[in-house]
Amino acid sequence: MAQSAKSRAELDREQLTLELGHVPAQGEDDFLVGEGNELAHGRIMAFPHWPDPITLVTGPAKSGKSHLARIFADRSGALFAGIDDLEDLAAHGGTAPLIVEDVDQRAYDEAGLFHLLNQSLRELRPLLLTARDDVSLWPLATDDVRSRVRRATAFTLELTSDIQLSQMFVKLFRDRQVVVDPKIIAYLVARMERSTEEVVALADLMDRLALAKGTAITRSIAADALNRRRLARGEAGTEQDWDTEDDE
């Protein structure tokens, strides 16, 4: 089987070409465990003591699916399957753990996925699948794959509290070696659209605005970023979205 699946190191090298000058920390100790993800995290950390071979983790973009996949790769030695690898991986069999990311977003061969799922169930091959949506919403031509995926142990990642949103901001800024006043983070959490994607977008935008101005991230920069994100979504912006007191 030639160049069938990618190692974590290979995947990381590809990912780093897309990063904006910083490397996200994605080790075990960097994962922020909270009420909305603790069950999925516990499943990954329980490997190799899984009672069944297939795990499905769903959640919106930036919710931590890829981070969990990297933790699983580190713990298990699992390879990341490429789009065109599934049929070969199933045909060659074996019990080496595998990761198939973004199953509902990438153009995986449906027949290959079906055979890989069958092989995993038959030979107890550990298989981690990630997706944004529940399997009922996957764009599948038949119900064959759907019926096999429904035999997986499934977990959904969610952000459930202001604390988790705040922790995510802290981690993203720490990855960039930026320290932000907790009051600014609290200000953001109280006013932002509540999603993991929005946390990532705001952290990136504020970092770029601060770099352009040559300053630290201030409350006025946070307000500017919130305003720009509102306008980008087609919502009405606000001329001023912070208290009248000066930035500290």
Give CATH 3.40.50.300 domain extents, the chain: 5-156
β-pairing, 98-100 vs 127-131, is parallel
Partnered with residue 156 across adjacent β-strands are 58
Give CATH 1.10.8 domain extents, the chain: 162-232
Q: Are the C-beta atoms of 195 and 159 separated by less than 8 Å?
A: yes
* pTM score, whole prediction: 0.70
Q: What is the CATH number of domain 162-232?
A: 1.10.8
Partnered with residue 58 across adjacent β-strands are 131, 156
Cα 69 from Cα 72, distance rounded (Å): 5
Residue 135: partners with Cβ closer than 8 Å, 6 or more residues away:
56, 104, 146, 149, 150, 154
Fold of the 5-156 domain: Rossmann fold (3.40.50)
Q: What is the pLDDT of residues 88-97, one digit of tens each?
A: 999 998 999 9
Question: Does pLDDT of 11 surpass 50?
Answer: no
Residue 247: partners with Cβ closer than 8 Å, 6 or more residues away:
218, 219, 220
Confidence class of residue 12 from pLDDT cuts 50, 70 and 90? very low
Identify residue 119 by its one-letter amino acid code.
Q
Question: Helix (H, G, I), strand (E, B), or coil: what is residue 187?
Answer: helix
CA distances from 65 to 27, 130, 155, 243 (A): 13, 6, 10, 36
Provide the pLDDT for residue 85.
95
Share the mean pLDDT of the chain. 86
Confidence class of residue 1 from pLDDT cuts 50, 70 and 90? very low
Q: What is the pLDDT of residues 22-50, one digit of tens each?
A: 556 667 877 878 888 899 999 999 999 99
Provide the pLDDT for residue 240.
52
Residue 46: partners with Cβ closer than 8 Å, 6 or more residues away:
none
Identify residue 47 by its one-letter amino acid code.
F
Q: What is the pLDDT of residues 150-206, one digit of tens each?
A: 999 999 998 767 888 898 899 899 888 898 999 999 999 999 998 888 999 999 999
